[in-house]
Amino acid sequence: MTRIVKKAEERRTEILDAAQDLFLSRGYDATTVNDLLNAVGLSKGAFYHHFSAKEDVLQALVWRMAEQSLAVLSPIIEREDLGPLEKLKTFFTEGQQFKKEHATTLRPLIEVLFRDENLRLRLRATEQMIELVAPRLGRVLAEGAKTGVFDIDDPIETARLVLNLGTLVHEAFATALKLAASNMPEAVALLGKRVTSYERALERLLGIPKHSLAIVDPELLELFLEPVPKSGGSVSRSEPGAAKRCINSHFKQAIPDVAAHPSTPPLTRLRSRRTDDIKGGKTHHSC
């Protein structure tokens, strides 16, 4: 049989594609290096030429996802029809859309990365992501600082801070994923509070009006929190549709405020009302 020799980048892509499929179908823990070898038709020597361990494959998948996301976000920087604040909002909006479209891949990656034993891997992946995105985001912030839209001194360092604060939202997603299996209301409440806090913190950091930003929408929360069948046919204690019911319940009180304040982004007003309810002692433990 003739041996097929492929370029290194092509072979690496094949390994990553196979790993992504196996991690999604079997789970990260249940997938072995031998499984990857069999899926791609590689020898161990060929595999270790590209990756030193399965953990390196996971990190490469995270990096590839970050690059794909950046490819979607980068054109926003060049748009001449948008001002700096509109670019920033679009940056977040398009980022949400990317996460929605890739939720089935991102969800298991988040679950694995945010395990305690993967702390070093997570920190390394986070630093790589920040180094990749900060220069692009910094350009938007620099434009806003120059025109007086953002009240900041150092656009690049501010961009790094924005992204570092965003990791707290990622941590909340990981925690909520664990909570959702047994307590969907608590999972939704945790994410609602963390996202709202992130939005208010960014607004203060950038010196823009309160309720200027809406980072995550309910549809994205639903995609990440909705329970999925486990391998072997078992399911979580949360019933199908539980995420949507809880998210709707969590945010439903905002409807009158939206009508009263049409200039305020609906989702932001919705989260603001929820935060006010929590501060006033009006917590909701069921949906």
Spell 60-78 as b/e; 16+ CB within 10 A means b. Answer: bbbbebbeebeeebeebbe
The CA–CA distances, whole Å, from 179 to 125, 158, 224, 238, 243 equal 24, 32, 12, 10, 11
233 inside domain: no
Q: Average of pLDDT values for 27-52?
A: 92
Q: Are residues 5 and 126 in the same domain?
A: no
286 inside domain: no
User: What pLDDT, in 10s, does the model give residues 43-72?
Assistant: 999 999 999 999 999 999 989 988 998 898
- Give the other-Cβ count within 10 Å of 17's Cβ: 14
Q: Are residues 196 and 269 in the same domain?
A: yes
Split at pLDDT 50, 70, 90, the class of 206 is very high
Q: Are residues 85 and 136 in the same domain?
A: yes
Q: Are residues 59 and 89 in the same domain?
A: yes
Of 83-87, 223-227, 228-232, which has the strongest mean pLDDT?
A: 83-87
Q: Average of pLDDT values for 244-254?
A: 67
**Does 31 have pLDDT greater than 70?**
yes
Domain range spanning residue 187? 53-224+239-279
Q: Are residues 152 and 270 in the same domain?
A: yes
Position 240, amino acid:
P
| Count of the separate structural domains present in the chain | 2
- Pinpoint the alpha helices (H) of the chain: 8-25, 33-40, 44-50, 54-78, 84-101, 103-113, 119-147, 155-180, 184-206, 218-225, 242-251, 255-260, 266-279
- Quick one: which of 224, 278, 213, 227 has its CA closest to 251? 278
Q: Are residues 215 and 127 in the same domain?
A: yes
Q: Are residues 148 and 180 in the same domain?
A: yes
263 inside domain: yes
231 inside domain: no
Q: Are residues 147 and 264 in the same domain?
A: yes
Residue 34, C-beta contacts closer than 8 angstroms, at least 6 positions apart: none
Q: Are residues 42 and 167 in the same domain?
A: no
Q: Are 215 and 208 in contact (CB under 8 A)?
A: no
Split at pLDDT 50, 70, 90, the class of 238 is low
CATH number for 79? 1.10.357.10
CATH number for 48? 1.10.10.60
What average pLDDT is seen over the chain? 82
285 inside domain: no
Q: Are residues 26 and 79 in the same domain?
A: no
**Does 18 have pLDDT greater than 50?**
yes
Of 21-35, 145-159, 208-222, 224-238, which has the strongest mean pLDDT?
A: 145-159
User: What pLDDT, in 10s, does the model give residues 111-164?
Assistant: 888 888 888 889 988 998 999 999 999 999 999 999 999 999 999 999 999 999
89 inside domain: yes
Split at pLDDT 50, 70, 90, the class of 222 is confident
Q: Are residues 157 and 28 in the same domain?
A: no
Q: Are residues 181 and 272 in the same domain?
A: yes
11 inside domain: yes
284 inside domain: no
